[in-house]
A and B are shown apart, each in its own frame.
Chain A
Amino acid sequence: MDGSLTINFTKRLKIFFTWSIISAVIVVAFKISKFDIFSLITGFSHSISLIREMFPPNFSRFDKILLVTFETIAIGFWGTVFGILLSLPLGLLSANNISQGLPYLVSKGLINFFRAVPDIMFALIFVTAFGLGPIPGILALSLATVGLLGKFYAEAIESIDKKPVEALESTGSHKLGIIRHAIMPQVFPLFMGYNFYLLDHNIRIAMVLGLVGAGGLGVELFTQMRSFNYQKVSAILIVVILIITLIDRASAKMSKNIIDGNFMSKQNKFINLMLIGIIILVSLISFFFIPFNLSEIFNGIPRILEFLRDLFPPKISEIERYLYLIIETVSMGITGTILAIILSIPLGILAARNITHYRVINIFSRETSNFFRAMPELMFALLFVAAVGLGPFAGVLAIALHTTGFLGKFYCESIENIDKKPLEAIDSTGAKYIQKIRHAVLPQIIPLFNSYNLYLLDRNIRASTVMGVVGAGGIGFELIMSMRVFDYQRALTIILLILITILIIDKISSWLRKKIT
């Protein structure tokens, strides 16, 4: 009987070692990112006093805020449009079922490269080449869009039904004809869904590109922050949150309609077309606010070539310091993710309607995570730098809060989608609420949670590479400093280190994800 009760020794040893390694990594990460209870408590009181200084919000320059808001939406929109135009050919060429050989390898490599580079880094480079303003923002977003959208497109094409393609091939159709008549009809709804997702995503990013001078609300926010006009800062933040929330809801609705195939149905048609109309109208109007000077762009091209030349050879004199900063960056991502997990579990449980039966608590928890998700982490970082000072601690807090918004929502959704049958069975044994959660809910959702957590860990380590742009710790600070003093060879070293780190983390996390499923 004992044989079936106890798991065998080697399995136990394996579990023990895995957990020891995980806890060791977490402890070291917390140490390096300077996170401890004491700084948390003082940080909390400093944040409270900062929030107090932010009230009441000062809307006296509302016209100015409105103008930069227009500019931000325009950057997001045009970045998405150019990104889509670039992604279409690259996505087609990098789908392994319709493309092979050199074009396949080149386009796939380009897409992977664009995905690995953080968007803020593109903006930083383009600001150096084209000067301050919205143009570098649009360019940066276009390239970052290709990294995401190109991959989405290629995956959609790779998973199509081959039968219609074969049928058209048998008619002797030209390759373009096959793409147009057999492939596009299958992937079009998916593509549209991705495009809306990217538009939403890019408008969020456009909000923070200004922190490196690439136009939009971020510029204004950074300026007010530096002159300690916290009441104006809060006015801008309110606008940011409102717009992001609105766009988030609208895009969620539209992509649901597209997936359900009733985007153009009678009751949705009017609203959806109106929403698209509004976005296009705003972007067209805002086009006039953007100094879209063709000569400026042409002047920028030689400058970017010059910049690329100046990058070489990379300077490796301070590599040890950079390596330490890379470790600090990774630690920030880990610490922020762990904190977010701790915060999100109760938030997700309280927001889930099937296990918490108080509407008010559900709504409150849901809106809390919506708020955290709507606030870009670089803005959180900016605020925390003001509250707790420069350094990785501010970055960790920013990552933790923003991630809580994501995880809270993911957790809530996966709890709401659990199989109710075991829950009822445990209920019928006379178990208490907490026992029901432990024995009927947790076993169902833990595997899902783990894959979300890994996904966000990966994402957060990327995010922490750019936290330094606002002084919130990590390698990003060195990057922006070397760009500012035109030491591009040092910048290249840092960029390469960041890219290598991101690639390694990407490999580790996809390996782990395969392991747990």
Chain B
Amino acid sequence: MISLQNITKKFKGDTVLDNICLKIQQGESIAIIGPSGSGKTTLIRTINGFVIPDNGSISIDGKEIKYSDKKNLRQMRKRIGMIYQLFNLVERTSVLENVLAGSLGRYDNGVGLVLSTIGLFSKEEKEKAMELLRFVDIEHKASERVDRLSGGEKQRVAIARALMQNPDILLADEPIANLDPKTSQKIIDLLLKINEEKGITLLCVLHHIDTVKDNFNRVIALKKGKIIFDGKISLLNKTELLSLYEIEESEEFEWMAA
């Protein structure tokens, strides 16, 4: 269980997260929506410590994240996989090598550290990586260099890398923002399948409401750093939705006027 308590974050005086309180149960699939600058990305980045909140605390299974303790932070990160808008793969290396990098957290001392640093991984890890590549349906490109893949293929590799960590939680930061609609659909389906089959908690930041499917068992809408809706998508009524988009439109209008 992830629990966020009174999380506040300011960037140069702008409040990006405003006193956020949230409880997430293991195995939930959550879509986080909201207009640009509403704090969606910042919110999920506090969970793995890429953003350190100014106030409040986050605990996972009752253990509070200590941002200043690097070792503690690493232990936490091992359990949290992350998927990015621009995939963040290591170019010039093969698909398999990229996926294997997901296992690095398991080799943090002794012989394992030395071997993984040289670039040698055990047979079991390689087999596991291949299995995950099969799971995300890109096994046939295992020895290809990642820079030769298409966007959708790259995102599959990135998902396999995150799964390689054996995570309990998967954070996805606008995973489909750089993909075409058809591929986007497939990637969202894949993420939901992972959530369903493996019981991994999924927190998925999405820009548009129309990409959120019924399969997400919870939708959180953010506006100016505050949660304005939290519940089943069927309960998200038109007025709330309109207010979310109306504000966005009027903001755009103000910006144009200025």
Contacts and interface: CB of A to CB of B under 8 A. Distances in A.
Interface string B72-113: 001111111110101111111100110001111101100001
B158 interface: yes
B117 interface: yes
Contact of B143 (A4, A419, A425, A447): A4
Given A1-B139, A435-B113, A425 B78 contact: no
Contact of B88 (A424, A434, A439, A444): A424
B165 A429 contact: yes
A421 B161 CA distance: 14
Interface in A403-443: 419, 421-422, 424-432, 434-435, 438-440, 443
Q: Is the interface of A mostly helix, strand, loop or mixed?
A: helix
A334 B87 CA distance: 40
A422 B91 contact: yes
Contact of B142 (A4, A431, A447): A4
Contacts, number: 105
Chain B interface: which size bin? Answer: 35 or more
Nearest to A428: B82
Interface of B: 48, 50, 74-82, 84, 86-93, 96-97, 101-105, 107-108, 113, 116-119, 126-127, 130, 139-140, 142-143, 158, 161-162, 164-165
A5 B92 CA distance: 17
Nearest to A435: B104
Interface residues of A, number: 24
A7 interface: yes
A425 B89 contact: yes
A10 to B, nearest CB: 15
Contacts of B76: 430
Contact of B93 (A421, A430, A443): A443
B8 to A, nearest CB: 23
B88 A430 contact: no
Nearest to A8: B143
Contacts of B140: 4
Given A4-B140, A428-B81, 4 more contacts: A7-B143, A425-B82, A430-B165, A431-B74
A421 B142 contact: no
Interface of A: 1, 4-5, 7, 419, 421-422, 424-432, 434-435, 438-440, 443-444, 447
Contacts of A425: 82, 84, 88-90, 101, 158, 161
A434 B113 contact: yes
Given A429-B105, A432-B113, A424 B90 contact: no
B92 A430 contact: no
A311 B96 CA distance: 63
A432 B130 contact: no
Contacts of A444: 90-92
B7 to A, nearest CB: 19
A514 B71 CA distance: 44
22 contacts: A4-B139, A5-B96, A421-B84, A421-B86, A421-B87, A424-B50, A425-B89, A429-B102, A429-B103, A429-B161, A430-B76, A430-B79, A430-B165, A431-B105, A435-B104, A435-B113, A435-B117, A439-B104, A443-B91, A443-B97, A444-B92, A447-B92
